[in-house]
């Protein structure tokens, strides 16, 4: 390091083989203790920790004298000699634990006030305090590891894409506002008063235009922005690895993405076999109740409609005999032993998932059955159910009887809830594709159609004729990359034909005039020889969060914002001067 740094070594790299060497180290005082007339200092840098020893006899009096004064979090530079630690004081838990540096000289580079929290892993300091003093929080080894993993993963993705002749192209951050989708952040223009840029929600349209522009293989690690109400784990700005290819089929894009992700994950020590498993959308919904299933545990959804076709329990019989409805259940093993009061609380959970109530049967360990509904079941129904759901004592079977997708979503949500509640182990990582999403979904209340992925997705060719007559039956060339039960990425082929794009926009409620007003530049571009294209976007923050095992994406971002959108360290957002507002011809209401 010496050519580029005051230090000759990092605080993480000295080993027994370095004994006898003269070294210079730079870093922060982590811990200091006086013992037997000596002073010991743990010197910390981003690479590790090395024990420094100050010996008034061997170090020279000046260094020892300085060491008496130094305090935690002071940055210092020391020169000294590497020596073996006395055998009984070696620390096998520390990579540098066999050696110490006998300090000859120490330079205090700065002093430090006492930090408001410990610079240690696993602290339980309020997150607001950590964010207010983020520059201290980042010194904690686990935060350093998080930043490093994010860097390593991102660099590996870039290397893989570069190796496949993708060009990284920067698209503008000052873009055009499109009222579709989530809410835009808007940026007033000074030169054009009353007009606004918008920060992009994604580079979707611009990457399609790059394909029209002949770039053929594009990628970008792109900052995206959404002015949404921030749920626990959303950020107003987030990062996606965005890519697009021309002259491709769906299988070709998916193979490329697998290849790139395999290399990137491997670079951070996570390996998987390709091709990844592909689960069609409806299979994922019907089996896991989710289009982003975690398949590391069972508790599959079961269709028991056939069992209850003639049931005296009208709720089940009704659904079992209605076109488009289902009676489905899951079996949460172990929860059948829960006390009644705990089971009763599950109804509340089901209601947050859209259920009207929750039917359940607890099979007690003593062989008894506890349930508000079994009194309506015939013996045959009960036997068939037990066989289908593989019932044992201690099981809790929960039901949903309603429209297919609704039943799937309710039980899918209950499945996740029960996995957490029961503490089901989910070991390793779970990677898969969910494919073949429907093109459209319909809002029950308004009857309006929206795009399941987005309005630029290519419908399956033979279904195009159904866009007018049976839109919900129209499939699309789409694929979501699912990691550990999270939608970690998604993509699809795109429409490259102006007429078809207009047709889809019209199905989504646009008049041609409105479509041209909003997406005129895209429609025009498609008329100038747009090639077949498809692409993908990976949610980088989320993937890094899963890789480091953090609970929040905030832990893999250097300077995240709170749920009210505040940067507590910088104090943003903040008031601006009246001159700044006047510059952009605005007044606060």
CB of 9 to a copy of itself, least distance (A): 12
Neighbour-count burial of 409, counting CB atoms closer than 10 A to its CB (0-12 exposed, 13-18 middle, 19+ buried)? buried
**Nearest-10 Cα torsion for 118, 122, 124, 126:** 80
Beta-carbon count within 10 A of 17 CB: 10
CB of 237 to a copy of itself, least distance (A): 6
Closest CA to 154 of 219, 245, 203: 219
Q: How far apart are CA 509 and CA 516, in angstroms?
A: 13
Q: CB nearer to a copy of itself: give 488 or 568.
A: 568
- Binding-site residue positions for L-aspartate: 180, 226, 453, 494
Q: CB nearer to a copy of itself: give 373 or 569.
A: 569
Q: How far apart are CA 166 and CA 27, in angstroms?
A: 39
Q: CB nearer to a copy of itself: give 201 or 331.
A: 201
Q: CB nearer to a copy of itself: give 273 or 589.
A: 589
Task: State the residue for tokens 């697998």.
Answer: 258
Task: State the residue for tokens 């399956």.
Answer: 460
Closest CA to 221 of 585, 568, 538, 549: 538
Three-state secondary structure readout of 247-260? CCCHHHHHHHHHHH
Q: CB nearer to a copy of itself: give 251 or 383.
A: 251
Secondary structure class of 203 (helix, strand, coil): coil
Q: CB nearer to a copy of itself: give 317 or 546.
A: 546
Angle in degrees, CA 22, 43, 268, rounded to 5: 100
Largest CA distance in the chain: 94
Q: How far apart are CA 122 and CA 140, in angstroms?
A: 9
Q: CB nearer to a copy of itself: give 12 or 280.
A: 12
CB of 172 to a copy of itself, least distance (A): 5
Cβ atoms of residues 364 and 370 within 8 Å: yes
Q: How far apart are CA 268 and CA 273, in angstroms?
A: 15
CB of 509 to a copy of itself, least distance (A): 16
CB of 500 to a copy of itself, least distance (A): 11
CB of 234 to a copy of itself, least distance (A): 12
CB of 553 to a copy of itself, least distance (A): 12
């Amino acid at each position: 390091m010496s050519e580029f740094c005051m230090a000759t070594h990092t605080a993480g790299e000295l080993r027994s083989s370095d004994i006898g060497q003269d070294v210079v180290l730079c870093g922060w005082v982590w811990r200091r203790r006086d013992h037997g007339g000596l002073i010991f200092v743990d010197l910390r840098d981003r690479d590790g920790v090395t024990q420094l020893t100050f010996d008034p006899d061997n170090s020279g009096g000046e260094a020892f004298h300085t060491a008496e004064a130094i305090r935690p979090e002071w940055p210092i530079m020391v020169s000294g000699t590497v020596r073996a630690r006395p055998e009984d004081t070696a620390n096998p838990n520390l990579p540098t634990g066999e050696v110490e540096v006998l300090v000859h000289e120490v330079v205090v580079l700065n002093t430090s006030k006492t930090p408001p929290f410990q610079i240690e892993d696993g602290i339980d300091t309020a997150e607001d305090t950590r964010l207010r003093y983020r520059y201290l929080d980042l010194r904690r080894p686990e935060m350093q590891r998080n930043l490093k993993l994010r860097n390593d993963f991102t660099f590996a993705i870039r290397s893989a894409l570069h190796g496949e002749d993708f060009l990284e192209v920067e698209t503008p951050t000052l873009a055009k506002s499109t009222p579709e989708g989530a809410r835009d952040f808007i940026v007033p223009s000074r030169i054009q008063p009353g007009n606004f840029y918008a920060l992009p929600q994604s580079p979707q349209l611009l990457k399609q235009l790059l394909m029209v522009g002949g770039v053929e293989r594009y990628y970008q690690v792109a900052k995206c922005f959404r002015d949404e109400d921030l749920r626990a784990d959303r950020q107003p700005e987030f990062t996606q690895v965005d890519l697009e290819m021309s002259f491709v089929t769906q299988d070709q894009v998916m193979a490329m993405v697998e290849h790139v992700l395999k290399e990137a994950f491997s670079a951070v020590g996570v390996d998987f076999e390709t091709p990844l498993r592909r689960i069609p959308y409806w299979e994922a919904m019907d089996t896991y109740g989710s289009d982003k299933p975690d398949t590391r545990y069972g508790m599959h959804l079961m269709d028991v409609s056939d069992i209850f076709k003639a049931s005296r329990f009208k709720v089940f019989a009704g659904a079992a005999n209605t076109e488009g409805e289902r009676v489905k259940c899951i079996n949460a093993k172990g929860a059948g032993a829960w006390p009644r009061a705990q089971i009763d609380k599950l109804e509340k959970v089901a209601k947050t998932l859209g259920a009207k109530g929750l039917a359940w049967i607890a099979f007690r360990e003593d062989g008894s059955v506890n349930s508000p509904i079994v009194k309506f079941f015939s013996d045959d129904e009960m036997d068939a159910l037990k066989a289908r759901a593989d019932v044992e004592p201690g099981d809790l079977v929960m039901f949903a009887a309603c429209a297919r997708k609704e039943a799937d979503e309710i039980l899918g949500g209950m499945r996740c809830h029960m996995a957490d509640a029961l503490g089901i182990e989910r070991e390793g990582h779970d990677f898969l594709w969910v494919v073949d999403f429907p093109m459209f979904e319909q809002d029950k209340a308004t009857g309006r159609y929206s795009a399941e992925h987005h309005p630029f997705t290519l419908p399956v060719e033979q279904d195009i004729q159904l866009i007018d007559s049976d839109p919900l039956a129209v499939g699309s060339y789409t694929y979501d990359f699912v990691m550990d039960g999270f939608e970690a990425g998604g993509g699809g082929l795109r429409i490259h034909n102006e007429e078809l794009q207009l047709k889809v926009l019209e199905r989504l409620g646009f008049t041609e005039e409105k479509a041209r007003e909003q997406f005129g530049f895209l429609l025009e571009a498609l008329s100038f020889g747009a090639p077949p294209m498809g692409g993908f976007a990976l949610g980088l923050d989320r993937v890094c969060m899963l890789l480091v095992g953090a609970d929040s994406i905030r832990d893999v971002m250097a300077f995240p914002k709170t749920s009210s959108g505040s940067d507590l360290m910088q104090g943003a957002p903040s008031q601006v001067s009246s001159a700044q507002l006047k510059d952009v011809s605005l007044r606060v209401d």
